[in-house]
Amino acid sequence: MAELIREIRTEGDDTAAVLGRISAAAVDSVPGTEFASVTMVTAGRIETPVVVGDLAGKSDALQREFNEGPCVRSAVDDTTIIIDDMRRENRWPRYAEAATELGIGSMACFCLYIDGHDFGALNLLSTTTHAFEPDAIAVGQLFAAHCATAFSAVREKDQLLTALSSRDIIGQAKGMIMERYQVDADQAFRLLARLSQDSNTKLIEVAKKIIEAGPDAN
């Protein structure tokens, strides 16, 4: 587990890469697991950026279609959800019926993170019923907890890189305004801010448009 976390932190260049490593490692590490996915709920939109096995992707597609299911609930409620026998699951009846038809026998869903109104869950699937015994669930919870920490670190790194990139773009746009209109840095930034406010456009988008237009644009 410790070695896996070190690898994720070292080799994870972006969020998608880390999600992929987490999902693949879960299939190998948690007894009973055949397929895995990560479900993300962002601003109310359900997404599945990574799947290990077609069955996992189809399971998440059903939850998006019905807007219900264990993966979403695990993420939003910060809880572990176990379905021992999909045929007898009654908390999400429409999903359970369709999942049974797909061949899903049992599932284990673990919350990965909660960030404001964004949520994520790690989902493990098996074609057999009662696939996840107590020991396997304990391993899954430990696995999810450690991986959530690594995932959080990578998300923060992504956010920092995005912020630095935005600063550079805004700085470049400011420089173009300063040169074109012979104003200082503060005046150039105030002009950018006014353009952003007047057009109801994010500052970074205004800066990108100025750069794309070039120094000779009116």
Average pLDDT across the chain, whole number: 82
pLDDT interval class at 211 (50, 70, 90): confident
> Do residues 4 and 31 both lie within one domain?
yes
**Total domain count for the chain?**
2
The predicted model gives 158-170 an average pLDDT of: 67
Residue 200 belongs to domain spanning:
160-213
> Do residues 115 and 201 both lie within one domain?
no
pLDDT interval class at 156 (50, 70, 90): low
**Residue 150: pLDDT above 70?**
no
> Do residues 70 and 167 both lie within one domain?
no
**Residue 10: pLDDT above 70?**
no
Q: What is the pLDDT of residues 90-120, one digit of tens each?
A: 999 999 999 999 999 999 999 887 666 678 8
What pLDDT is attached to residue 59?
A: 95
> Do residues 140 and 167 both lie within one domain?
no
85 residue type, one letter? D
Q: What is the pLDDT of residues 38-66, one digit of tens each?
A: 888 877 778 888 789 999 999 999 998 99
> Do residues 35 and 74 both lie within one domain?
yes
Buried/exposed code over 152-168 (b: 16+ C-beta within 10 A; e: otherwise) = eebbebbeeeeeeeeee
Domain boundary among 144, 171, 193: 144
> Do residues 95 and 201 both lie within one domain?
no
What pLDDT is attached to residue 207?
A: 83
Whether residue 19 lies inside any domain: the answer is: yes
Long-range pairs, 101-104, Cβ under 8 A, ≥24 = 102/55, 102/58, 102/59, 102/62, 103/55, 103/127, 104/55, 104/59
pLDDT interval class at 4 (50, 70, 90): low
What pLDDT is attached to residue 168?
A: 78
| CATH code for position 184 | 1.10.10.10
pLDDT interval class at 192 (50, 70, 90): confident
pLDDT interval class at 70 (50, 70, 90): very high
More confident residue, 215 or 82: 82
Question: Which residues partner with 37 through β-bridges?
Answer: 51, 123
Q: Look at the pTM and tell me if it is higher than 0.75.
A: no
Residue 178 CA to residue 204 CA, distance in Å, equals 17
Residues 6 or more apart from 75 whose CB is under 8 A from it? 39, 40, 41, 109, 111, 112, 114, 119, 120, 121
Whether residue 149 lies inside any domain: the answer is: no
